[in-house]
Amino acid sequence: MSIALKVENITVSYGNFIALDNVSLEFQEHTTLGLVGESGSGKSTLARVIAGLILPDEGQILLGSQTLSRKRSREQHKMIQMVFQNPDSSLNPKHTIRQILAEGLLFHNIVRHSQVENRCRELLFRVHLDESSLDRYPHEFSGGQRQRIALARALSVEPSILIADEPTSALDVSVQLSMLELLNTLKAELNLTMLFISHDLGVINAISDTVAVMRHGKLVEINQKERFFSHPETAYSYELLSAVPKMPISNR
């Protein structure tokens, strides 16, 4: 399998504080990398660097074979999309859902103008939302629905890489599972490569193929999922895994 994305020696610092310290990662095509870490580990910063929102002080990112320049082209932006953590602030409150979904479609000329309405309906359908949502505003939807709309928006421009920055952390547990299933389904259908960030190891176990652990801006461990959970290689990973509260019974 080829490498979809390569992160090389990325360093980001804010004054004396080092958010990312020489981080290097490889993303295999069509797999999900689960990035786990506590607060301040730099996982969200890494996500934003990959998405092009933060410029690293050092290092570079390679998308396939091309190096992404500091000012990305429209095409390069299109390839990497992101779903954010907070459903309350990931959609512009003053835009209708139609405007939100159509924006990417029109900007990147994904479809002709006449086809935009149809495509919006298809996008909503794919995330299990009704087409009547198009005329509505974000505040009329629940947190889970808003995350699905955000997902539809990210997928509207047909990216090859999807970054999900704790997309289920702010959702109720009952909604969490359906969101994870949706992500898995879409990832398979659309042949995406996914970076899934979470502090919840249970979620990481459910969705990842590979697991990477970050701490204080450094990459601590990276391994295949099964191996990571059964044979963690570092003391920190072991500490994380042991700290997860466990149910007194087996619930499967």
Partner 1 sequence: MKLTQNDSPLRDNKRIKTFFRKIWNTPALLWGMIMLFLLIGIAILAPVISPYDPSKQDLFAILQPPSVKHWIGTDQLGRDLFARLIYAARTDLTIMVLAEVIPFCTGVLLGMLAGYYGKWVDTIITLFTDTFIAFPFYLIVIIVAFATGAGQQGIYITFILVGWIVFARVIKGLSASFRKQEWIAAAQTLGLPGYKIILRHLLPNVLPQAIIVLMTDMVGLLVAIVTLGYLGIGIAPPTPDWGTMISDGQSFITTAWWLSTIPGCAVVYTGIALSLIGDGLADIWRRK
Partner 2 sequence: MTSINPILKIENLTLGTKTNHNLVSNVNLTVEPGESIGLVGESGSGKTLTLRSILGLLPPGIKQLSGNIKNNGNCAMIFQNPLGALDPLCPVVSQLAEVVYYRQKVTHKASRTIALELLESLGLPDSLKQTDRYPSQLSGGQCQRIVIAMALACKPSILLCDEPTTALDVTVQQQIIDIIKSLQRELGFAIVFVTHNLAIASSMCSRLCVMKEGKIIEQGETLELLQNPQNPYTQMLIHSVLPLPDIERSVDLCP
Applying the rule CB under 8 A, the residues between 143 and 202 that interact with partner 1 are: 143, 145, 150, 153-154, 157
Closer to partner 2 at the Cβ: 123 or 170? Answer: 170
Contact call for residue 95 and partner 1 (CB under 8 A): yes
Contact call for residue 216 and partner 1 (CB under 8 A): no
Burial 163-197 (b: 16+ CB within 10 A, else e): bbbbbbebbeeebbeebbebbeebbeeeebbbbbb
**163: Cα within 13 Å, side-chain hemisphere:** 23
Q: Which of 9, 66, 92, 118 binds partner 1 (CB under 8 A)?
A: 92
Closer to partner 2 at the Cβ: 152 or 240? Answer: 240
203 by DSSP, 3-state: which? helix
Contact call for residue 23 and partner 1 (CB under 8 A): no
Q: How many residues are recorded in the chain?
A: 252
CB 141 within 8 A of CB 149: yes
Here the tokens at position 188 are 């398979």
14 forms bridges with which residues in the sheet? 17
Q: Please report, as ranges, the residues that interact with partner 2 according to CB under 8 A.
A: 38-39, 172-174, 176-177, 199-203, 205-206, 226, 229-252
CA 65, 5, 104, 72 torsion-angle sign: negative
CB 46 within 8 A of CB 34: no
Per CB under 8 A, which region of 35-43, 46-54, 120-128, 176-184 contacts partner 1?
Answer: 46-54
The nearest distance, CB 66 to partner 1, in angstroms, is: 16
Contact call for residue 55 and partner 1 (CB under 8 A): no
Q: Which of 6, 38, 62, 72 binds partner 1 (CB under 8 A)?
A: 72
Contact call for residue 53 and partner 1 (CB under 8 A): yes
Backbone angles phi, psi at 12, to 5 degrees: -130, 125
Contact residues toward partner 1 (CB under 8 A) are: 48, 51-53, 72, 74, 76-78, 80-82, 84-86, 89-95, 103-104, 107-108, 132, 135-136, 139-143, 145, 150, 153-154, 157
